[in-house]
């Protein structure tokens, strides 16, 4: 089994660019990943089950294929109703972290299972899910993901109304010095990066803004420059 320690997550709190492979041509994943090169800190892998979200994407077999090609930190965003049933498959495939949605119910046991399997673990919240749903997990997780669009599809518009919640999560992390990254996902581009970083985000997921660009590596570098 592949364990998280093999995959470098980078220094806690440093800005990380996480290109979302949802915006790739899935038949050319290796090429796209190589195109972004060292401007990619993590690779964001969107897993959708057609149930938690109204779309179906990819799962453990694609994570395993990616893992044969790269040592990158594979940040797996599980938009699925029953993650516990699949965590072993993700761990065996070489996932570095799994992020679970708080809307599906109590995640305490699933978080513990992910850790036993050697993965890092995060919790995700939809744009209309309140901070109070996230707060209990802060001592337990490595990552909080604040969705800045409703999950399911790439290429949607950023929702600025999520910014106060991002700032609230940042304040809570800092107040207790939790070892926790704060990730944003959805509509992140050159126009929205400054606001999310100002609110306290440290991990920026971007699909269309990177893989939809003529020069994905340049686009990732430009996002990083905006964030610093
Ligand atoms: C949406 C996914 C996102 C998506 C972001 O449900 O979770 O990761 O790929 O795509 P962009 O950056 O195009 O909004
Ligand atoms: Zn995502």
Task: Report pLDDT digits (tens) over 64-91.
Answer: 999 999 999 999 999 999 999 999 999 9
Sheet strand arrangement including 203-206: 16-19, 203-206, 181-185, 143-147, 120-125, 97-101, 73-79, 42-48
Best residue for ligand 1 mutational test, from 185, 196, 210 (most atoms within 8 Å of Cβ): 185
Q: Strand 73-79 vs strand 42-48: parallel, antiparallel, or unpaired?
A: parallel
Rounded Cα distance, 156 and 188, in Å: 9
CATH number at residue 107: 3.20.20.70
Check: CB of residue 99 under 8 Å from CB of residue 207.
no
What is the extent of the structural domain holding 190? 16-227
Tell whether the model's pLDDT for residue 19 goes beyond 50. Answer: yes
Whether 2 shows a pLDDT value over 90: the answer reads: no
Interatomic CA distance for residues 149 and 141, integer angstroms: 22
- Count the domains in the chain: 1
Assigned domain for 144 exists = yes
Quick one: how far is CA 215 from the chain centroid?
A: 22
147 belongs to a structural domain: yes
| Residue 10 domain flag | no
Would residue 7 count as lying in a domain? no
Residue 42 located in a structural domain = yes
Mean pLDDT of 191-209: 98
Give kind and range of the element (H or E) at residue 109.
helix 108-116
Domain assignment present for 6: no
pLDDT in tens, 84-133: 999 999 999 999 999 999 999 999 999 999 999 999 999 999 999 999 99
Query: For residue 115, is it within any domain?
Result: yes
Specify if 135 maps to a domain. yes
d(CA 210, CA 50): 25
pTM for the full model? 0.97
The protein residues having their C-beta less than 5 angstroms from ligand 2 (an ion) are 46, 77, 185
Split at pLDDT 50, 70, 90, the class of 199 is very high
55 lines ligand 1 (CB under 6 A): no
pLDDT of res. 6: 66
pLDDT range class, residue 23, cuts 50, 70, 90: very high
């Amino acid at each position: 089994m592949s364990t998280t320690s093999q995959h470098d997550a980078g220094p806690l709190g440093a800005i990380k660019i996480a290109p979302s492979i949802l915006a790739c041509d899935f038949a050319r994943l290796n090429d796209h990943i190589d195109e972004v090169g060292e401007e990619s800190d993590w690779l964001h892998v969107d897993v959708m089950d057609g149930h938690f979200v109204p779309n179906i994407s990819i799962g453990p077999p694609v994570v395993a294929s990616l893992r044969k090609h790269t040592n990158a930190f594979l940040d797996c965003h599980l938009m699925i109703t029953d993650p516990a049933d699949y965590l072993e498959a993700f761990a065996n495939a070489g996932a570095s972290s799994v992020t679970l949605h708080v809307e599906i119910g109590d995640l305490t046991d699933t978080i513990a299972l992910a850790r036993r399997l050697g993965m890092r673990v995060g919790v995700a919240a939809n744009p209309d899910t309140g901070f109070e749903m996230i707060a209990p997990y802060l001592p337990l997780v490595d990552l909080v993901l604040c969705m800045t669009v409703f999950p399911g599809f790439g290429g949607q518009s950023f929702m600025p109304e999520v910014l106060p919640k991002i700032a609230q999560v940042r304040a809570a992390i800092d107040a207790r010095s939790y070892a926790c990254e704060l990730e944003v996902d959805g509509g992140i581009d050159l126009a929205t990066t400054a606001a999310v970083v100002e609110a306290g985000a440290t991990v920026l997921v971007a699909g269309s803004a990177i893989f939809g660009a003529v020069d994905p590596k340049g686009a990732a570098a430009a996002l990083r420059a905006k964030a610093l």
